[in-house]
Structure 1
Amino acid sequence: MVSAAVRTVLGDVAPADLGVCDAHDHLFLRSPRLPGQELDSVASAAAELDAFREAGGQSLVQWTPHGMGRHARELPALARTAGVRVVAATGLHQAVHYPPEVLADLRARGLAEVFVRELTHGIGDSGVRAGLIKVAGGFHGLDAHARWTMAAAAEAHRATGAPIAVHLELGTGALDVLDLLCGALDVPPAKVVLGHLNRSPDLTVHRDAAATGAYLAFDGPSRAHHPTDWRMPDAVAALADAGHGDQLLLGGDTTTAAARSVHGGPGLPHLLRRVRPRLERAAGRDVVARILGANPARAFAVEWPA
């Protein structure tokens, strides 16, 4: 009998071994949309992971997809030294993050095949296998690029069982994404993680999305997203009260160098030092313990093919 496992950069682990998990963050990230704010320093990533561990963090899911500076070769040593489990991603972000020639090459190679290879064989020649597929929607809609990447993600999911994590632009388009992934493309809702819902605090949409069975990620402490932080506790509490406490995830989504704690920003520790106690006051300790522990353990667990 095959047991479900979370695929980390140091190998597959039992879901319960994730412990306290930041379910959406970035140790490394590079995009032409963030000039001068690249997360590309290995030393800063190491210091940030140490600070996260000291705050009580035990695992981190990096949502950085293909072609955005994942530094896959560096991740095993960082995870081992810090004593923090790290999950890497395959997938593709919005078209604006890539040169046209990169997208043309991926079309020629077959996008789903790229995803599957990174999930099963490794990212490039790093030997690091991805544990999830990250894709992205648009602002209140899905363009042709989003539909292409989501179709490829669905195909890769069917081949591997890997969960699909979705960047929702400013938190919008959740129901359109679910209509495509879980409707037309037949991905089980429990294998979909919707990110950035705190950026569009529409509780009706939140409840409708949760009713499908998908996971909902709230991930706003990054400096660039702080205006939505104060709404997060109410949204989490409302969803928990509606019976969806087992579908909620929490992440920091550190996307700029200035947001790292080692550079004076909130960084990874902020999630546990400041966000967690505020959520506990709003939703209760039991709910928050599930959000940081049992929920990501289920969301990222896969019965991987041999």
Structure 2
Amino acid sequence: MTHVRTVLGDIRPGELGVCDAHDHLFLRTPHLPALDDVSAARAELAAFRAAGGAALVQWTPYGMGRHAADLGALSRTTGVRIVCATGLHQATHYDPEVLARLRGGRLAGLFVSELTEGIAGTGVRAGLIKVAGGFHGLDAHARWTMTAAAEAHHATGAPVAVHLEQGTGALDVLDLLCGELGVPGERVVLGHLNRFPDPVVHRRAAESGCWLAFDGPSRAHHATDWRMPEAVRALADAGFADRLLLGGDTVTPAARSVDGGPGMPYLLRRVRQRLAEEVGAELVERILAEHPGRAFGVDWKS
């Protein structure tokens, strides 16, 4: 049986509903102001729910302030289903002592434990593994984390979601994960493809069977955002309409709608309508309400 693993338990893919397939309620890194306020996260979820949202996939991995202990209550209070991540981001987001400790153990074992037993005694189980590539390549840290992610995938069936730095390195990631490490393409989600709108790379990535996530709209420093509808249409025209995902990727307090930014509701309030003009409302609704259940739904092995 295929299920999406939410913070309140496993559900059938069709129960997920309209889903923001890549976002953050909480995030802590040396490089950005922290998303660390539970009441603000609750308000943002409520705003997303009011806009028609039903589910959210939080890609915040291990060691970056996931607030796993708060996610269940937030889901119950707002009525928004939440999928939580395990995994590891780029090395720059962690203290060297944390990485040294992790390198002294078995990283895949940590991922498997958080997917099957729960995160730090909270009882909340992760529903995906989040890792990250580098700018136009993969360094030793990325290869280490992706190798552990592949091992954890083979042990559990969990999907592997990948932060592509500025949208680059997609084919290197697929060569490693799907080629060398044997992860099926349909179990890989590539994020931030809107940041590097190369149609040839997009098509070649789609040919692997992976999921292509267009996330983080309305960023002030992303000059390529206006090309996102065109990129989605090109993939749909090439026969890859069934491999697409959409997300908001809120990463700072100022980006939340409740703090004056576009926030999670922007995905449904503006992006949905703009994409509908490009590819039709029917496909956009499938991308929002059907595709996330398929991308994150797993026949869990444990």
> TM-score normalised by the shorter chain: which range applies?
over 0.9
Aligned AA (1:195): G
**Structure 1 segments unaligned to the other structure (5+ residues):** none
> 1:235 is matched with which residue?
231
> 1:19 is matched with which residue?
17
Matched, 1:245 2:245: no
> 1:29 is matched with which residue?
27
The DSSP-based 3-state class of the residue aligned with 2:41 is helix
Q: CA deviation at 1:221?
A: 1.9
Aligned AA (1:65): P
The DSSP-based 3-state class of the residue aligned with 1:38 is strand
Per-residue CA distance 1:270-301 (angstroms, 9 max, x = gap): 00000000000001111111110111110001
Q: CA deviation at 1:224?
A: 5.1
The number of residue pairs the alignment matches comes to 302
Judge conservation of contact 1:222–1:259 (CA < 8 Å) in 2.
no
> 2:120 is matched with which residue?
124
Q: Distance in 1 between matches of 2:222 and 2:274?
A: 14
Q: Kindly indicate which of the two structures has a greater share of residues assigned to strand.
A: 2
> 2:7 is matched with which residue?
9
The DSSP-based 3-state class of the residue aligned with 1:165 is strand
The DSSP-based 3-state class of the residue aligned with 1:24 is strand
Matched, 1:282 2:300: no
Per-residue CA distance 1:165-199 (angstroms, 9 max, x = gap): 00000000000000000000010000000000000
Aligned equivalent of 1:261, options 253, 257, 264: 257
Matched, 1:174 2:170: yes
The DSSP-based 3-state class of the residue aligned with 1:30 is strand
TM score, norm. by length of structure 2? 0.98
Aligned equivalent of 2:83, options 84, 87, 92: 87
RMSD (CA atoms): 0.9
Q: CA deviation at 1:227?
A: 2.8
Q: CA deviation at 1:10?
A: 0.3
Judge conservation of contact 2:218–2:225 (CA < 8 Å) in 1.
no
Q: CA deviation at 1:109?
A: 2.2
Aligned equivalent of 1:38, options 31, 34, 40: 34
Judge conservation of contact 2:219–2:225 (CA < 8 Å) in 1.
no
Aligned AA (1:24): H
Q: Distance in 2 between matches of 1:220 and 1:260?
A: 12
Judge conservation of contact 2:52–2:268 (CA < 8 Å) in 1.
yes
Matched, 1:292 2:276: no
Per-residue CA distance 1:227-267 (angstroms, 9 max, x = gap): 33211100011101111111000000001111000110000
Per-residue CA distance 1:102-152 (angstroms, 9 max, x = gap): 011111221000000000000111110000000000000000000000000
Q: Distance in 2 between matches of 1:275 and 1:72?
A: 29
The DSSP-based 3-state class of the residue aligned with 2:269 is helix
Q: CA deviation at 1:18?
A: 0.5
The DSSP-based 3-state class of the residue aligned with 2:63 is coil
> 1:114 is matched with which residue?
110
> 1:302 is matched with which residue?
298
Q: CA deviation at 1:212?
A: 1.0
Q: Distance in 2 between matches of 1:226 and 1:140?
A: 17
Percent of paired sites with the same residue? 72
The DSSP-based 3-state class of the residue aligned with 2:124 is coil
Aligned AA (2:151): E
Aligned AA (1:83): G
**Structure 2 segments unaligned to the other structure (5+ residues):** none
Alignment map for 1:96-245 (pairs within 5 Å) = 96-221=92-217, 223=219, 226-245=222-241
